[in-house]
Structure 1
């Protein structure tokens, strides 16, 4: 080989030649990994896994406490593709585990909700300042002269429970008065029975079957029943009977009274309640019974007439909080002999900001009184708060608090904002008059009213911006069927009773599901069937639509496709347990942890921290 050829060979060729000349033993190389077939590798892995399982089972047997009785525990069925357990058994086992996990999640959520409810719970009792300062605690209910018939009083508890079960009456409390199925057995005088017959009322409703004996017995009460169930009679009839009894014993002197007080959140509702009381007292007076003098105290009307009647002495006062506070502050009226207090739509008054006014009114009472609270929507937060003012309270619940009236056919339609007014005329043709139209804003009420008048519809309108005379005239014209349509804000949705309302139209979806329940409750009253049509679109808040969807499902109503597509929060958790829905606002589509109303209240409270209200005064009447 020439020198040129040797010199031309590169370093790679030299390295290759050196490796060939000096062979080495690869098995001695520390980096050498021999090839193992896939089958062998899998076999070794399974052997390792089997050894690990055996060690783990021996360890669990050592740690497991020995049972004193019974045989060996049943091993959990092995789950997996190689298991000897059937697929059906595996499915049932997985389902049990999922349900157990779901229940544990519900328990965690309930515990969290109880903490939230406890934190927002009002710590101050709903009592007068004097009672709190002196530590006065009433332990016994007031004693009245009314007693149930002897044969009902001595009847077995099983008989009473069968009646409550038949009429779906849920009660809480000790020593419950017996339910009574007729007005005659409740010992009402003949003029009262005659007045009820003229109203077309021949037998008591479920809330009256249990509520009237409870109120007549002198017990404090929380009454919850759907709209149109006859709650007004439960507190008006007893107050008339108690005042009649007092007048017979010792006639009221000039300037004395009242003996009974009814507080309502709106002027229209107070006016309606006053008319009911006045009707009963006039029938009693016509039959020769002592005169029972009622008085209406509301804002928007001259105070002079109210002062003149107070000077003559009154037995019953029906009032709104603002005017009542004014009369008490000026010492025109006192509650020295008042022994009966009823709060109609109690939860609504607290929501409207009348809570401090109610506390102040309580401080004008000189001794114990019988307190009754009524509403169709009373969440647990309000119930717990109200119990602080009651003595041995009896809670009467007909249906779920906040549930819709089952006699109302609910129809929800998607209507664009710009097409609402045009579609309104088409909806009015669904049923004959009278028809109620609700809107959230005063300006929209005026616009709808003007549009209907231009189209030749006999319509009237009411809202908080109108004079009291105009409001009373509009309600009177509508009740006496001289007008076909009433357009109103939510002031007409709380407790007002209109005869034979065929149709309720919600021009917009209210911001609160409780207002929706009250609105549609103006129809389908006293066992009659009505229709409620609600317009919704993209402008509606999704949280309210979730509550609406859940409410429709609860009432077995048709849920439109655009609501079906909305996912309700915690659907699975809502189906479990008795305390479904939000404990703060009563909405079924969410829990209290996601309550938009609670969040808005907390934000409002946070915004007022550090501010001093120099213009503090009682809330104005609606």
Structure 2
């Protein structure tokens, strides 16, 4: 396979390359693309006032050495000032009894590592960046404190018709927004049944009649879970305001940026009238999000469980070389590896439709989802697959970000995605909540060598078997130890890929291409097709 990477010239010193990379990163940092105009004008934002929540006294008095030992045991890395202590018990987090009972009903007995440290940070009122592999329980880290904060607000100053929301969660896809909304509702129901004040949530997504959403807003709403497009629409039409909003979560923040929502989010930020607690959650943390976090969050605490962009270690990763024309036939063989449910990922919508039709002809109970299907079809496919009525879901990356499918046995990557972050998100649909799963990925000469090298290094990091076709690749990164040590960054500082440096980053190249295409569209006065949601 011919090399498509430009290897570092042997006579170029490591320090010189590091300086070049730093210049590139600083140039990227100049664009505070996710800040609102109002926030850019502020000299120095002030921290959000602390909440009334406090951990039990014995935990408040925990010696720093003991806290550090607990974090080491749970493989938790923290960064920030005055970090609250880790709490390895839901009861010690002082959650209401109905919430604790609901957690037990769902089989959640003790917190996951991201919850052990993340929940105390968020409950304390601090801004936070949460980095953990998919399936690690990030959703509860922002949902439970949001419900507690909304309850506290409702008890002090009840929401009146037309007011709200108090808290806002922004998701990159309709499916993830709906899933998050359902989690919120699951915990609100037992609270309501036990006499707590009613907390009204709203699902604010496209593809749904806006009038039904406005009816909830008119009653007064506490919590809104939204996709950027519909949220921006409601705010622009003054059907809803963020005057009282004190709590903002950007879930899968890296995907919000990748799908081109920077301008939408900037406009949303401009509607905030007061201090807010801001939370960022992601399985990957590219440079663009790091820059945003530095500028938009105030004294944030970073809670990191594993390397940002690392694959879930509970997934067995199998990579197979399959010729393009043989892939669809070999797919049937792969489906025999495990019992259902199975997820199949493709890069484009046409392949999704072709594979879906092929599987139906072969008698496989399959459904399909992509951005070209209407909302009703998408919802049917997700619910039929989740309930077990269908065995296989064929999807584009619209189903790879944050969606929690129960007990996925097997993920098949019909196409290896160009960006390694998408691969990490896809295989994270299996091996969730401590269970193991299998991910099979088809590769062939259609993939660039940069992508294959990223995959090779990811497999090495997770101590997985390296297939001969990847082992034989000419790998310039094997000689880059001096550069890694000098710059403090392993692999690419922009996307986190381990098989290339920033100068060869396919994601950065794609972003530049999109920016040029966007400026041309603006010049000619047309709209644009923005990411698939």
Smaller-chain TM-score bracket: over 0.9
Shift of 1:585: 1.2
Q: Does 1:525 align with 2:432?
A: yes
Partner Cα separation in structure 2 for residue 217 and residue 514 of structure 1: 31
> 2:33, 2:262 within 8 Å by CA — same for their partners in 1?
no
Residue in structure 2 matching 1:246, options 137, 153, 158: 153
> 2:250, 2:279 within 8 Å by CA — same for their partners in 1?
yes
Match of 1:154 in 2: 61
Match of 2:141 in 1: 234
Q: Does 1:513 align with 2:437?
A: no
> 1:295, 1:314 within 8 Å by CA — same for their partners in 2?
yes
Secondary structure of the equivalent of 1:497?
coil
**TM-score scaled by structure 2?**
0.94
Match of 1:32 in 2: none
Shift of 1:579: 1.4
Residue in structure 2 matching 1:481, options 361, 377, 388: 388
Deviation per CA, 1:561-585: give whole Å up to 9, x if none. 0111112232221584351010111
| Change beyond 3 A, Cα 1:615–1:329 | farther
Match of 2:128 in 1: 221
Q: Does 1:366 align with 2:273?
A: yes
Partner Cα separation in structure 1 for residue 46 and residue 415 of structure 2: 47
| Change beyond 3 A, Cα 1:291–1:511 | same
Match of 2:21 in 1: 113
Partner Cα separation in structure 2 for residue 460 and residue 131 of structure 1: 44
Q: Does 1:602 align with 2:512?
A: yes
Q: Does 1:614 align with 2:525?
A: yes
> 1:381, 1:584 within 8 Å by CA — same for their partners in 2?
yes
> 1:267, 1:621 within 8 Å by CA — same for their partners in 2?
no
Q: Does 1:432 align with 2:339?
A: yes
Match of 1:495 in 2: 402
Match of 1:583 in 2: 493
Shift of 1:418: 1.1
Partner Cα separation in structure 1 for residue 461 and residue 336 of structure 2: 28
> 1:139, 1:392 within 8 Å by CA — same for their partners in 2?
no
Partner Cα separation in structure 1 for residue 140 and residue 27 of structure 2: 36
Match of 2:4 in 1: none
- Alignment length, in residue pairs? 521
State how 1:126-275 maps to structure 2 within 5 Å.
126-133=34-41, 135=42, 137-275=44-182
Partner Cα separation in structure 2 for residue 574 and residue 286 of structure 1: 59
Q: Does 1:389 align with 2:300?
A: no
> 1:125, 1:389 within 8 Å by CA — same for their partners in 2?
no
Deviation per CA, 1:403-449: give whole Å up to 9, x if none. 00000000000111111111111101100000000011111111111
Shift of 1:455: 0.8
| Change beyond 3 A, Cα 1:308–1:574 | farther
> 1:322, 1:618 within 8 Å by CA — same for their partners in 2?
no
Shift of 1:140: 2.6
Shift of 1:293: 0.7
Which 10-residue stretch deviates more, 349-358 or 490-499? Answer: 349-358
| Change beyond 3 A, Cα 1:587–1:574 | farther
Q: Which runs of 4+ in 1 moved over 6 A?
A: none
Partner Cα separation in structure 1 for residue 246 and residue 514 of structure 2: 37
| Change beyond 3 A, Cα 1:365–1:244 | same
Whose RCO is larger (CA < 8 A, sep 6+)?
2
Structure 1: runs of 5 or more not aligned: 1-101
Secondary structure of the equivalent of 1:612?
helix
Partner Cα separation in structure 1 for residue 275 and residue 78 of structure 2: 24
> 1:478, 1:486 within 8 Å by CA — same for their partners in 2?
yes
Larger Rg: 1
> 2:32, 2:291 within 8 Å by CA — same for their partners in 1?
no
> 1:568, 1:590 within 8 Å by CA — same for their partners in 2?
no
Q: Does 1:563 align with 2:470?
A: yes
Residue in structure 2 matching 1:124, options 3, 11, 32: 32
> 1:574, 1:581 within 8 Å by CA — same for their partners in 2?
no
Alignment RMSD (CA, Å): 1.9
**TM-score scaled by structure 1?**
0.81
Partner Cα separation in structure 2 for residue 264 and residue 608 of structure 1: 23
Partner Cα separation in structure 2 for residue 255 and residue 462 of structure 1: 36
Deviation per CA, 1:19-59: give whole Å up to 9, x if none. xxxxxxxxxxxxxxxxxxxxxxxxxxxxxxxxxxxxxxxxx
Shift of 1:595: 1.3
Residue in structure 2 matching 1:593, options 486, 503, 526: 503
Deviation per CA, 1:519-569: give whole Å up to 9, x if none. 000000001000000011111121111100010011000000011111223
> 1:167, 1:206 within 8 Å by CA — same for their partners in 2?
yes
Match of 1:11 in 2: none
Secondary structure of the equivalent of 1:240?
helix
Shift of 1:381: 3.7
Secondary structure of the equivalent of 1:570?
helix
Shift of 1:620: 7.3
Partner Cα separation in structure 2 for residue 122 and residue 465 of structure 1: 35
Partner Cα separation in structure 2 for residue 455 and residue 131 of structure 1: 56
> 1:354, 1:618 within 8 Å by CA — same for their partners in 2?
no
State how 1:69-108 maps to structure 2 within 5 Å.
105-108=13-16
Shift of 1:599: 2.5
